[in-house]
Amino acid sequence: MSAEETARFEPRIVAFCCNWCSYAGADLAGGMRLKYRPNLVPIRVMCSARVAPQFIIRAFQEGADGVLVAGCHIGDCHYVKGNFITAKRVAILRRLIEFMGIPRERLRLEWIAASEGDKYARVADAFTEEIRALGPSPIKDIRFGERSRSCASC
């Protein structure tokens, strides 16, 4: 990408935010009238552990340039230990997508408390710029051409 294209590219980032902390943090960032990049599309989930890896894979397949998973800090999860499993899942999935040629930086995990509106804003800015530097997700450009067929049974 040329410098000009990089500047024009607006990343689309899916942000899975847990209801009890990170979504409230995002809400607070708004309430505090903080200015931050508008590239994150928040999706509210009840707990970061509700973010099945399939959801992340789906977001990438649909063309997300980046995916943020945001949950409560360890010890603060509303369901006590949900985020323990989130940390493990994301660590594995980041390495797995990288093996497929998708930089692991496109998937990010952050713990953001309800009181951390400023952290939400900082993460939104930093992540957006990181993804901007990586450029658009190559998944959007996959074309199968004449290999494509419809198939009634699969």
Partner 1 sequence: MRELLKTRVAEMLREGRVDGVVGLIESHGEPLPYLFTADDTAALERISTGELQGRLAELIPGVVRYPLGKILTAVARKHPDKRFGVMCRACDERVVFGLFQNLQLDPDKVEILGLPCKEELARACSCPAPAPRSAIVDQPSREAWDRADLERIDAMALDERFAFWVEELGRCIKCYGCRNACPVCFCDVCTLQDDGLVKKGEIPAELPAFQLTRAWHMVGRCVDCGLCQEACPMDIPIRTIYRKVRSIVGELFDYFPGERDGGKSPLEQLGDGSFPIQ
- Where does this chain bind ligand FES (CB under 6 A)? 18, 20-21, 47-49, 71-72, 77-79, 82-83
Nearer to ligand FES, 77 or 134 (CB): 77
Partner in contact with 144, chosen from partner 1, ligand FES, none, beta carbon below 5 to 8 Å by kind:
partner 1
Taking CB under 8 A as the rule, does residue 8 contact partner 1? no
Nearer to ligand FES, 52 or 133 (CB): 52
Long-range contacts of 136-140 (CB under 8 A, 24+ apart): 136/9, 136/11, 136/65, 137/60, 137/63, 137/64, 137/65, 137/66, 137/102, 137/106, 138/101, 138/102, 139/60, 139/61, 139/63, 139/102, 140/63
The tokens for 87 are 């940390």
Nearer to ligand FES, 48 or 137 (CB): 48
- Kindly state the number of chain residues that form the binding site for partner 1, as judged by CB under 8 A: 43
Partner in contact with 2, chosen from partner 1, ligand FES, none, beta carbon below 5 to 8 Å by kind:
none
User: Which one of residues 41, 46, 58, 115 is an interface residue with partner 1 (CB under 8 A)?
Assistant: 58
> Under DSSP, is residue 148 helix (H, G, I), strand (E, B) or coil?
coil
Minimum CB separation from ligand FES for residue 74, in Å?
A: 9
d(Cα 132, Cα 24) in Å, to the nearest integer? Answer: 26
**Axis-axis angle for helices 22-31, 117-134 (nearest 10):** 100
Give the bridge partners for 67, in sequence order. Answer: 14, 107
Interface positions with partner 1 (CB under 8 A): 53-54, 57-58, 60-61, 74-75, 81, 83-85, 87-103, 109-111, 138-139, 142, 144, 147-152, 154
